[in-house]
Structure 1
Amino acid sequence: MRNVLQDPATKVQFAGHETFPLRLLWPKKAFEAVRGGAPLRTFQEHEAIARFGVGRNMAVSMRHWNIASGLIEEREGLLWPTALATEILDDEGLDPFVEHPATIWLTHWHIASTPEMTTTPFYAFNALPGVDFDSEGLASELLRLVQERGWRATRVTVKRDVEVFLRSYVRRTGALTEDAAEPLLAELGLVREARIGGWFEFMRGPKPTLPDGVFALALDQFWQRTGGDSMTLTAEQVTYEPGSPGRVFKLDEDSVVTRLMALDAITDGSWSWTDTAGLRQVHRRHQPDWLGLLTRSYGRMAEAA
């Protein structure tokens, strides 16, 4: 995972959002549009303006973000909601109108933990050294990678992607318009403007609104990507490796360890934590129940089968 952006097989993308950040109402609107399966051009047709109440470019952006968020997938030539989307966004689901922090944290995890559709957020959260950065520096680092790897992306495209990344995650101080409050991911407070003009900083540390269930779901996906056959992961891997919960959620090491120590209870014994002779690890006994973890993230217990 360390060199995922150096892997020739890795797919990257710096466009698709049509310069719009992900907005609060989009997950539910997109879910309803594809609930029973929808043509691939559903978000691109002229009817999209009436269907979604937005312009065509914004409808295309809606499609992009919902696929990147793990809420929509292409299957058998149609667009469908994922199992995750159905559990959350159905009218009787866990959070149909995206009012719970768990939904936003899950959305962020899907966007920032892999580079395939959202390369700039992945790079920013997983590869930038330190906590401070400026937009020009971030764009320059990405352009260097584009040149080294031979990816197809222009300077204008990359710089625009960086702008959308910042508009997605940074809550603008002093903004009073309704539109300024709309970007969904800014609610997490993961990135803020620094005192020095043009600079930004990641807010690293404990995340009180991040449910333990969401952390466990993210850890499960990270575990599968980094070596699903391994029965153990170290605290250092979970904290510092690119694509890890520690990196993506900007958790410090103590916060990660605190959450790892709670995994036995959270996963009903599927995972356990050990700290022996300085070797701090989480052990996997068997695969946890993802639906149980999801429902616990919203303060509910899974219904008995």
Structure 2
Amino acid sequence: MSDSRLREAVELSFGRHETFAPRFGWLHKAYMQVKNDSEIFHREDAPVLLGVGKNMVYSMRHWSKAFKLTQEHPHEDASYRAHVASPTWRARWLLDEDGADPYLEDTGSLWLLHWWLLSTDAEAKCWVPSWYVIFNLAPRSRVTSAEMTSVITRHVHESFEEKDWPASESISRDVECLIKMYALDQEFNPLSPGSFEDLLMSPFRELGLLEGQGKGRDRTWRFTSGSRSNLPAPVLTYACLDYASRFSPNAGSISLARLAEDPGSPGRAFRMREPELTKAIELLVGNHPDLQIVEALGQRSLTFSKAPQALAWDILDAHYGRVREREGFPTPQEWIKKYPGLDGDASKRGRKKLPQQVEVLDLIKENA
């Protein structure tokens, strides 16, 4: 078995994107529909309401869940077999009309979504294991698409039982989609559905994470690294504290080396080594009363005098104009009351029983 912690970090989900990378406007549009109709992705008129093709509806559903903007759960009516979706509080914070950046005009918001996509937290694991492997576990060298597929396959086979392995074609489609999503210099394939649109409409290409060299089957890909001029320090600091909160929920510290190199860390997700990561956050840290970079025994660490998760959101929210302080903005607890499906235990307790289920329960009680 692998020592990569892949089993703990991801849900086994492959190819759910229907070959479509997330496009401009999709996440906001999906959020606005889901907050009013939890069944939207199952409706026959969903393509009309969302303004996309049928396969794209499936893709929008996948990406909304993968970015942790929706959470799927059983319908309150047990006769409704499919899982329905509720918008998460972070989706309300980011994508509502009075949210932080509903139309993702700030490149920092794309970096934030990229972090949410790859991260594992208390709410959900990573729903794109192929992405997790490539960013966190694959070598930092130049690779072909076939080599990416091979690396993902190896890690999945080492970490999971054979009965859970995906088809090789599913992993290959993941690699193709990942390249569509991030590569600045893609090749247009006239035989691939939506290929030309993907060239124009994938906002995550703005991050400049992936570049290619050569043509055709011999084309190789390399993830760029170094300083990220379009990555705001508050977004990076948020990711660092968010990551630190998984190991230290209260005040404490984490080494900058871990923040840069650990699987699942910001340094891996953003492709930044320790010197670049340190330089990017040190000005913000130096001006913040609850943060400090200290050095001991030749190792530099980020220390935080408050709970890192709360501190992370304070810093992020301040960067976006203090969204949480706006009139009528709900707390996470108020949001769960509005969408009880977000509370997994309450959702199960609150499901309405089918008539035959009620009858069986009554009989059991009568004969008890």
TM-score range, shorter chain: 0.7 to 0.9
| Offset at residue 285 of structure 1 (A) | 0.9
TM-score by length of 2: 0.74
Distance 2:173 2:323 in 1: 42
What SS does the corresponding residue of 1:272 show, helix, strand or coil?
Answer: strand
Corresponding position of 1:30: 30
Match for 1:273 among 285, 293, 300?
A: 293
Instruction: Name the structure, 1 or 2, with higher relative contact order (CA <8 Å, separation 6+).
Output: 2
Kindly provide the CA deviation profile for residues 166-206 of structure 1, in whole angstroms up to 9, marking residues without a partner as x: 11111235769554121121121101112474200011000
Match for 1:253 among 254, 274, 280?
A: 274
Change (3 A) 1:230 1:293: closer
Q: Is the 8 A contact 2:10 2:128 kept in 1?
A: no
Match for 1:238 among 237, 248, 259?
A: 259
Q: Tell me, yes or no, if structure 1 residue 184 matches structure 2 residue 242.
A: no
Q: Tell me, yes or no, if structure 1 residue 217 matches structure 2 residue 238.
A: yes
Q: Is the 8 A contact 1:263 1:273 kept in 2?
A: no
Change (3 A) 1:17 1:207: same
Q: Is the 8 A contact 1:15 1:157 kept in 2?
A: yes
Corresponding position of 1:87: 93
Instruction: Identify the range of structure 1 (153-162 vs 282-291) with the bigger mean alpha-carbon deviation.
Output: 282-291
What SS does the corresponding residue of 2:31 show, helix, strand or coil?
Answer: helix
CA RMSD across the alignment: 2.6
1:128-167 superposed matches below 5 A: 128-148=138-158, 149-150=160-161, 151-167=164-180
Corresponding position of 2:316: 294
What SS does the corresponding residue of 1:98 show, helix, strand or coil?
Answer: coil
Gaps of 5+ in 2: 76-83, 189-194, 327-368
Change (3 A) 1:291 1:279: closer
Distance 2:178 2:139 in 1: 17
Q: Is the 8 A contact 1:46 1:56 kept in 2?
A: no
| Offset at residue 135 of structure 1 (A) | 0.9
Gaps of 5+ in 1: none
What SS does the corresponding residue of 2:40 show, helix, strand or coil?
Answer: coil
Corresponding position of 2:46: 48
Bigger helix fraction? 2
Kindly provide the CA deviation profile for residues 47-77 of structure 1, in whole angstroms up to 9, marking residues without a partner as x: 1111111122111110110111122223674
| Offset at residue 88 of structure 1 (A) | 1.9
What SS does the corresponding residue of 2:185 show, helix, strand or coil?
Answer: coil
Distance 1:174 1:158 in 2: 20
TM-score by length of 1: 0.88
Corresponding position of 2:136: 126
| Offset at residue 225 of structure 1 (A) | 2.7
Q: Is the 8 A contact 1:295 1:301 kept in 2?
A: yes
Corresponding position of 1:18: 18
Kindly provide the CA deviation profile for residues 93-151 of structure 1, in whole angstroms up to 9, marking residues without a partner as x: 22121111121111111122346310111111111112311111111122223333223
Q: Is the 8 A contact 1:260 1:273 kept in 2?
A: no
| Offset at residue 297 of structure 1 (A) | 3.5
Kindly provide the CA deviation profile for residues 80-99 of structure 1, in whole angstroms up to 9, marking residues without a partner as x: 22222212211122212111
Percent of residue pairs identical? 27
Distance 2:186 2:172 in 1: 22
Q: Tell me, yes or no, if structure 1 residue 3 matches structure 2 residue 4.
A: yes
Distance 2:23 2:199 in 1: 10
Q: Is the 8 A contact 1:272 1:283 kept in 2?
A: yes
Change (3 A) 1:209 1:293: same
Higher-Rg structure is: 2
Q: Is the 8 A contact 1:102 1:297 kept in 2?
A: no
Change (3 A) 1:55 1:159: same
